[in-house]
C-alpha cells in the first residue's frame, strides 16, 4: 500500500478503490457464498466422497450463475459501464476473477474445517505476495496506464491460481447432484443477501462519494478503509479459525465454554483496535503519506467497525448453524438500505466524512436486530447481552478519546505505552487460561 499510494495519483487510487468495491460486491453475488456453506454442509454430507461431490457441484453452480451475468454484460455493455463507471477492460478482468476465485476460497474453507491451517496459510500468503509483486512491476512499467497495470497485475495471479484449484476439485469429484445445488442455495442464498448487505455498507461509501463528490475524496476513504484492514484482517482471520470450533461447541452444547472463550476473544479485539486507533496518524503517514493526512479524522470510526464485525459474525454463525440464514439476510438488507440512505443524506449536507458515521450507526442497528432474533430463537444464552454491552461502550468511547489524543502526541505515546504494559500484564496473569483455550482448540484437530 505505501508503494501504490505514492506511485498512483489520488484520482487513480480512488478509481482503483471503486473497482475493488464493485469486485467485492459482485463476488458475493456470483459466488453464491458456496464456500460459506461448507462449514454447515460437513455435518450433512459426511459419507465418504459426499463432501467432495458437494464442493464440485457448488463450484459449477457458482460458475453457471456468473456466466449468466457475464452474458448480460455482453448484451448491455454501455448500461453496465455507466453504472459501474469502469471501462470494458476492467470489467473483463473482474469477470475472470469472479469465475475462478470461488475455487480458491473453497480450498481454504475446506482446510479450515479440517483444522489444517499451515498449507492454507502458505498458499494464501504466497499468492498475495506474488500478486502484489506483479502489480508493482506492471504499475511501474505501464506508465501510460498505471491504473490498468495495478489492476491487471494483482488479479491475474488470483485468476491463474483459481483455475488451478478449480481443476483440483473437479479431479477429486466431477459428480453434480441436485441435492447439493438445493442445499447450497438453501444455505448460501440467504448468506448472499446477508454478506451483500455488509459489503454494501462498506462499498457504498466509495461509490456514493464517487458519484456525488470527486475521485480525490474517494481516495481518502480508500486509504482509510485500507488502514482499517489491519483490524479487519485480524478479525476475519480469527473468525475463520473460530467458526469451525464454534460450530463444534454448539453441536456438543458447550454453552459455558463458548461464553467464556468468546468474552476473551472480544476483549482481545477491543484492545487491538484501541492500539491501532492510537497509532492512527502514523499508520496514515506510513501507508498513505502526507497527501492523505486528512483521512486521519475518520480513521477511528472505520477501525471500530472491526469490533462490531466480530459481533455480527457470531450472530451470523449462530443463525447459519440453526439453518436460519435468511434472517441474517433480512437484517443486513435493512441495515444496508438505511446505510445507503444515510450516506446520500450525509454527503449532501455534511460532506464525504459523513459516510463513516452512517456506517457506524448501521452496524449498531444490525447488531441490535440480530440480538432480538436470538431472543426469539431462544439461543441468546450463547451470546448474552451483558457480555457485549461493556465492550461496545468502550469501543464507542474511543472516537472522542482518539480525537483528543491526536492533538497531543506526548500524551498519546504515554497511552500507547500504558496499553502495551497492561496488555502484557493481563496476558501474563491469564496465561494459564489462555493455554487451556489453545489446548482445547488444538484438541479439535
Tens of pLDDT along 38-67?
878 888 888 877 888 899 999 999 999 999
Closest to 231 (Cα-Cα) out of 303, 133, 339: 303
What per-residue confidence (pLDDT) applies to 440? 61
193 is a domain residue: no
182 is a domain residue: no
116-130: average pLDDT: 88
The answer to whether residues 325 and 367 belong to one domain is: yes
438 is a domain residue: yes
If one counts the domains in the chain, the total is 2
The answer to whether residues 134 and 241 belong to one domain is: no
The answer to whether residues 233 and 100 belong to one domain is: no
The answer to whether residues 114 and 73 belong to one domain is: yes
Residue 32 banded pLDDT, cuts 50, 70, 90: confident
Last residue of a domain, one of 127, 161, 176: 176
The answer to whether residues 96 and 209 belong to one domain is: no
The answer to whether residues 314 and 235 belong to one domain is: yes
The answer to whether residues 120 and 225 belong to one domain is: no
66 is a domain residue: yes
The answer to whether residues 114 and 253 belong to one domain is: no
Assess whether pLDDT exceeds 70 at residue 343: yes
Q: Is 378 left (phi over 0), alpha (psi -120 to 50) or beta?
A: left
Q: Three cell numbers at 146? A: 498505471
172 is a domain residue: yes
Range of the domain at 348: 205-445
183 is a domain residue: no
Residue 151 banded pLDDT, cuts 50, 70, 90: very high
343 is a domain residue: yes
The answer to whether residues 171 and 210 belong to one domain is: no
Residue 380 is classified by DSSP as G
What per-residue confidence (pLDDT) applies to 372? 85
441 is a domain residue: yes
What per-residue confidence (pLDDT) applies to 82? 81
The answer to whether residues 253 and 129 belong to one domain is: no
The answer to whether residues 132 and 227 belong to one domain is: no
Grid look-up 500507547 returns 416
The answer to whether residues 151 and 209 belong to one domain is: no
405-423: average pLDDT: 88
Assess whether pLDDT exceeds 80 at residue 107: yes
What per-residue confidence (pLDDT) applies to 374? 78
Amino acid at each position: 500500500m505505501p508503494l501504490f499510494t505514492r506511485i498512483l495519483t489520488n484520482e487513480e487510487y480512488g478509481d482503483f478503490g471503486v473497482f475493488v468495491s464493485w469486485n467485492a460486491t459482485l463476488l458475493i453475488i456470483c459466488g453464491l457464498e458456496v464456500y460459506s456453506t461448507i462449514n454447515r454442509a460437513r455435518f450433512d454430507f459426511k459419507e465418504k466422497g459426499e463432501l467432495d461431490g458437494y464442493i464440485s457441484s457448488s463450484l459449477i453452480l457458482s460458475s453457471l450463475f456468473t456466466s449468466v451475468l457475464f452474458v448480460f454484460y455482453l448484451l448491455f455493455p454501455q448500461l453496465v459501464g455507466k453504472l459501474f463507471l469502469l471501462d470494458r477492460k476492467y470489467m473483463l478482468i473482474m469477470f475472470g476473477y469472479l469465475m475462478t476465485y470461488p475455487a480458491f476460497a473453497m480450498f481454504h474453507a475446506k482446510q479450515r474445517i479440517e483444522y489444517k491451517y499451515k498449507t492454507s496459510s502458505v498458499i494464501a500468503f504466497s499468492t498475495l505476495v506474488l500478486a502484489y509483486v506483479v502489480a508493482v512491476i506492471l504499475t511501474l512499467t505501464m506508465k501510460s496506464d498505471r491504473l490498468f497495470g495495478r489492476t491487471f497485475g494483482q488479479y491475474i495471479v488470483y485468476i491463474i491460481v483459481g483455475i488451478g484449484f478449480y481443476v483440483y476439485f473437479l479431479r477429486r469429484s466431477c459428480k453434480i447432484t441436485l441435492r447439493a445445488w438445493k442445499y447450497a442455495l438453501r444455505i448460501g442464498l440467504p448468506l448472499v443477501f446477508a454478506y451483500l448487505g455488509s459489503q454494501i455498507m462498506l462499498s457504498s461509501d466509495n461509490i456514493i462519494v464517487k458519484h456525488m463528490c470527486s475521485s480525490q475524496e474517494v481516495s481518502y476513504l480508500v486509504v482509510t478503509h485500507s488502514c482499517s484492514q489491519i483490524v479487519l484482517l485480524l478479525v476475519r482471520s480469527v473468525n475463520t479459525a473460530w467458526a469451525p470450533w464454534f460450530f463444534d461447541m454448539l453441536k456438543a452444547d458447550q454453552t459455558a465454554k463458548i461464553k467464556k472463550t468468546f468474552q476473551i476473544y472480544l476483549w482481545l479485539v477491543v484492545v487491538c483496535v484501541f492500539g491501532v486507533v492510537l497509532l492512527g496518524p502514523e499508520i496514515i503517514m506510513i501507508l498513505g503519506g502526507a497527501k492523505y493526512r486528512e483521512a486521519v479524522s475518520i480513521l477511528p470510526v472505520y477501525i471500530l467497525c472491526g469490533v462490531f464485525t466480530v459481533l455480527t459474525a457470531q450472530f451470523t454463525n449462530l443463525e447459519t448453524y440453526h439453518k436460519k440464514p435468511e434472517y441474517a439476510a433480512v437484517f443486513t438488507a435493512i441495515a444496508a438500505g438505511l446505510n445507503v440512505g444515510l450516506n446520500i443524506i450525509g454527503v449532501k449536507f455534511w460532506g464525504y466524512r459523513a459516510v463513516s458515521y452512517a456506517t457506524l450507526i448501521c452496524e449498531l442497528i444490525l447488531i441490535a436486530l440480530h440480538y432480538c432474533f436470538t431472543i426469539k430463537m431462544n439461543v441468546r444464552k450463547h451470546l448474552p447481552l451483558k457480555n457485549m454491552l461493556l465492550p461496545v461502550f468502550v469501543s464507542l468511547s474511543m472516537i472522542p478519546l482518539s480525537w483528543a489524543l491526536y492533538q497531543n502526541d506526548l500524551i498519546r505515546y504515554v497511552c500507547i505505552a500504558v496499553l502495551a504494559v497492561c496488555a502484557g500484564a493481563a496476558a501474563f496473569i491469564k496465561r494459564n487460561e489462555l493455554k487451556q483455550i489453545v489446548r482445547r482448540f488444538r484438541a479439535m484437530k
